[in-house]
Amino acid sequence: MKIVILTGAGVSAESGLGTFRDTDGLWTQYDLSEVATPEGFARNPTLVHDFYNARRSNARDAKPNAAHYALARLLQARDDVTLVTQNVDDLHERAGATGVLHMHGSLMQALCAACGTRWPAPDAMQPEHACPACAQPETRPDVVWFGEIPYHMDEIGAALEACDLFVSIGTSGEVYPAAGFVAQARAQGTRTLELNLEPSGALFDEGRYGPATRIVPEWVEGILKG
């Protein structure tokens, strides 16, 4: 049984990383158009770097939780599972998962806007940092902003098309194209399951609700038992 899993901020919430749209979420504290768009970066690169430097620091201090570890166990046990994440933290990897498709990029990488070179992000990325390859001072975080095309879409599309089960974990389903995966899966007859703190409102065949650290390990154990 081929499985595609999509994770969102809810999977890292119990590691202490803020979600975006919950009552105390990041988008209630920051203006998304200022810190998560190419236009915002062009207007005020220092503000945008400060925002992602703070998020990188929080992510480095955070530890993977039971949901990350359970998903890593599942990936290690089976070769027919594709893990797609909207998260820019590295908690899936630090729990032992490999091959995770980070469709919104990674906080832990710097990207040269001039030549496309990537390198490990320093703790405090600044606009004047020069690219190690082309020396242009156009360093940006390697995250996908609103208005940009998410990464790995061909690979994700192929995995979705071929899968027998689509599982959405800890995401509100507000941001496309990820928000459209469940409809695509249902349209092709793939079974769909939502694991979330509460129903997101999107149409799934089945939903299990509660904190990720409880419901994800329970679901994974069920799959591993067969």
Q: Which residues are catalytic?
A: 104
Smallest distance, ligand OAD to C-beta of residue 143, A: 7
Asked if 193 interacts with ligand OAD (CB under 6 A), we say no
Asked if 194 interacts with ligand OAD (CB under 6 A), we say no
Q: Could you identify the residue written with the tokens 């703190």? A: 197
Asked if 212 interacts with ligand OAD (CB under 6 A), we say yes
Smallest distance, ligand OAD to C-beta of residue 132, A: 26
Nearest CB to ligand OAD, comparing residues 147 and 189: 147
The 128-147 contact track toward ligand OAD, x by CB under 6 A, reads ----------------x-x-
Asked if 39 interacts with ligand OAD (CB under 6 A), we say no
Asked if 47 interacts with ligand OAD (CB under 6 A), we say no
Judged by CB under 6 A, the residue of 15, 53, 139, 196 near ligand OAD is: 196
Q: Which residues bind ligand OAD (CB under 6 A)?
A: 8-10, 13-14, 19-22, 25, 36, 86, 104, 144, 146, 170-172, 174-175, 196-198, 200, 211-212
